[in-house]
Copies of this chain bind each other. A is one copy, B any other.
Amino acid sequence: MFCIEMGVRDYELDMQGIVNNGIYFNYLEHARHEFLLSNGVDFAALTEAGIHLVVIRSELDYKSSLKSGDRFRVEVALERISKVKFGFRQRVVRMDDDKVCVNGLVIGTALNERGRPYISPQLEALFSA
Contact = CB atoms under 8 A, between A and B. Distances in A.
Interface of A: 9-11, 13-17, 20-23, 25-26, 29-30, 33, 37, 42-44, 47-48, 52, 54-62, 65, 67-69
A60 B62 contact: no
A123 B21 CA distance: 21
A73 to B, nearest CB: 15
Contacts of A60: 57-58
A57 B63 CA distance: 9
Copy number in the complex reads 4
Contacts of A43: 10, 68
Contacts of A26: 9, 11, 22
Given A16-B47, A68-B44, A69-B44, A58 B11 contact: no
Contact of A10 (B30, B59, B61): B30
Given A16-B47, A42-B68, 7 more contacts: A10-B33, A10-B43, A11-B14, A15-B68, A16-B52, A54-B62, A57-B62
A44 B61 contact: no
A112 to B, nearest CB: 13
A45 to B, nearest CB: 8
Nearest to A17: B15
